């Protein structure tokens, strides 16, 4: 019995790894292990012998079991020590950046709109957001007394004391870019101008800054029919489905005739779907460029004619992505953007391939 004890305690203490320990456990105290077999022999002993041998064998079994457990723990400690010596972490290293941003719906829609019109041969033109009242109003056939000036809730800048020139304005629409482009390139013209515009207005469907995309096509024989085709092409490409349009006679000082254009939609449970149903939603103003506007841009109205339109980009974004409140574009966070499925900047976008 003492031999058995010494043999196993020695083997356990010399075991190199857990696998060896497990073998020893089976050999000693496993079902057919040496000690287990000895315990089975207890049955053949006299009660007196059994009274002596029973407790001894139990004690030996316990001793070997705890030796096995102790050795197992020691081996694990040694393994951890060895790992700690070879692996280490420098917590002072600068962390790796994680891309958190995502493209804003307005930027994304602007890219989408620009790409579709580019396919139809429209180049992008730009103009300043702080405009003279000439470009924003007069050149567009909106003289000083015209009610449209008041209707547009214009933001005016201040002139210095004693300076009586008319103040600059925050452009109320992208239409001044029509005049600037006519002056710069002359006819023929085929441009769009996406950009920010400003009006003093704030509620669920109006914000003081919003976005429009202006369109202008001038040529020798460009007609209202061309306007309708271009817009229908645009809407079908933008919404990915055939979209009926409705032209309603309207009035803008800078177009004659003028039309407001609605697109077909349905309203269900507060959700709007474009391209189906019996409702109409106004999305833009348009018309044939007024001869006075052509003249103001230095173009002969007897030689050239064409159409212009101004689309609300924010409205388009709300319709395409089912965003109910315009104000959300300005005070929402990343979770909101993700909810509406806007991609992180890691994903390729029209914004110039893979964002850096």
End-to-end CA distance of the chain: 75
Helix (H) or strand (E) holding 281: strand 279-289
CB under 8 Å to 55, separation ≥6 — which residues?
none
Count of residues engaged in binding ligand PHE, rule: CB under 6 A: 10
Residue pair 25/8 in contact by the 8 Å Cβ criterion: no
Q: Which stretch binds ligand PHE (CB under 6 A): 65-73, 105-113, 229-237, 280-288?
A: 280-288
Q: Which stretch binds ligand PHE (CB under 6 A): 73-81, 142-150, 232-240, 304-312?
A: 304-312
Q: Which stretch binds ligand PHE (CB under 6 A): 62-70, 93-101, 282-290, 337-345?
A: 282-290
Least distance from C-beta 276 to ligand PHE, angstroms?
A: 26
Residue 253: φ, ψ to 5°: -65, -25
Single out the residue of 169, 296, 308, 317 in contact with ligand PHE (rule: CB under 6 A): 308
Q: Is 310 in the site for ligand PHE (CB under 6 A)?
A: yes
Q: Which stretch binds ligand PHE (CB under 6 A): 79-87, 115-123, 263-271, 305-313?
A: 305-313
Rounded Cα distance between 64 and 4, Å, is 10
Residue pair 321/200 in contact by the 8 Å Cβ criterion: no
Q: Is 287 in the site for ligand PHE (CB under 6 A)?
A: yes
Q: Which stretch binds ligand PHE (CB under 6 A): 187-195, 285-293, 327-335, 346-354?
A: 285-293
Rounded Cα distance between 178 and 193, Å, is 9
| Residues of this chain, 238-257, that bind ligand PHE according to CB under 6 A | 252, 255
What angle is formed at CA 296 by the lines to CA 290 and CA 301, rounded to 5 degrees?
50
Least distance from C-beta 90 to ligand PHE, angstroms?
A: 58
Rounded Cα distance between 200 and 149, Å, is 12
Single out the residue of 285, 306, 329, 337 in contact with ligand PHE (rule: CB under 6 A): 285
Give the pairing type, strands 169-170 and 130-131.
antiparallel
Least distance from C-beta 310 to ligand PHE, angstroms?
A: 3
Q: Mapped to the 3 state alphabet, what secondary structure does 101-143 carry?
A: CECCHHHHHHHHHHHHHHHCCCEECCCCCEECHHHHCHHHCCC
- Determine whether 9 is exposed, middle or buried from the number of CB atoms within 10 Å of its CB (0-12, 13-18, 19+): middle
Q: Which stretch binds ligand PHE (CB under 6 A): 30-38, 42-50, 281-289, 343-351?
A: 281-289
Least distance from C-beta 326 to ligand PHE, angstroms?
A: 16
161-177 in b/e form (b: 16+ CB < 10 A) is: eeeeeeebbbbbbbbbb
Q: Which stretch binds ligand PHE (CB under 6 A): 21-29, 63-71, 298-306, 308-316?
A: 308-316
Least distance from C-beta 350 to ligand PHE, angstroms?
A: 24
Q: Is 175 in the site for ligand PHE (CB under 6 A)?
A: yes
Q: Is 286 in the site for ligand PHE (CB under 6 A)?
A: yes
In terms of CB distance, is 50 or 228 closer to ligand PHE?
Answer: 228
Least distance from C-beta 138 to ligand PHE, angstroms?
A: 14
Tokens 């104000």 belong to which residue? 327
Least distance from C-beta 237 to ligand PHE, angstroms?
A: 20
Rounded Cα distance between 219 and 189, Å, is 7
- Determine whether 311 is exposed, middle or buried from the number of CB atoms within 10 Å of its CB (0-12, 13-18, 19+): buried
25-64 footprint of ligand PHE as x/- string (CB under 6 A): ----------------------------------------
Interface positions with ligand PHE (CB under 6 A): 173, 175, 252, 255, 285-287, 308-310
């Amino acid at each position: 019995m003492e031999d058995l004890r010494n043999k196993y305690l020695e083997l356990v203490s010399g075991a190199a790894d857990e696998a060896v320990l497990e073998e020893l456990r089976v050999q000693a105290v496993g079902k057919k292990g040496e000690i287990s077999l000895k315990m089975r022999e207890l049955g053949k002993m006299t009660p007196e012998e059994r009274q002596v041998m029973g407790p001894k064998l139990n004690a030996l079994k316990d001793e070997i079991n705890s030796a096995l457990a102790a050795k197992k723990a020691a081996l694990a400690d040694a393994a951890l020590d060895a790992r700690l010596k070879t692996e280490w972490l420098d917590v002072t290293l600068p962390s790796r950046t994680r891309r958190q941003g995502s493209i804003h719906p307005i930027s994304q829609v602007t890219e989408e709109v620009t790409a579709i019109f580019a396919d139809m041969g429209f180049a992008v033109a730009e103009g300043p957001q702080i405009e003279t009242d000439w470009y924003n109003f007069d050149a567009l056939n909106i003289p000083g007394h015209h009610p449209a000036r008041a209707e547009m809730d214009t933001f005016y800048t201040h002139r210095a004391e004693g300076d009586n020139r008319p103040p600059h304005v925050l452009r109320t629409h992208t239409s001044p870019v029509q005049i600037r482009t006519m002056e710069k390139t002359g006819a023929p013209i085929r441009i769009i101008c996406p950009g920010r515009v400003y009006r003093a207005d704030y509620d669920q469907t109006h914000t003081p800054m919003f976005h429009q995309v202006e369109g202008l096509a001038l040529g020798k024989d460009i007609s209202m029919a061309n306007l309708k085709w271009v817009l229908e092409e645009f809407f079908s490409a933008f919404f990915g489905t055939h979209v009926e349009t409705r032209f309603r006679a309207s009035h803008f000082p800078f177009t004659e005739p003028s039309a407001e254009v609605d697109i077909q939609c349905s309203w269900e449970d507060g959700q709007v779907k474009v391209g189906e149903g019996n409702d109409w939603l106004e999305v833009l103003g348009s018309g044939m460029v007024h001869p006075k506007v052509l003249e103001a841009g230095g173009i002969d109205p007897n030689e050239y004619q064409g159409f212009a339109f101004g689309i609300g980009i924010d409205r388009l974004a709300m319709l395409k992505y089912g965003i109910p409140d315009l104000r959300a574009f300005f005070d929402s966070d990343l979770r909101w953007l993700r909810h509406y499925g806007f991609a992180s900047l890691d994903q390729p976008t029209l914004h110039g391939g893979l964002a850096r």
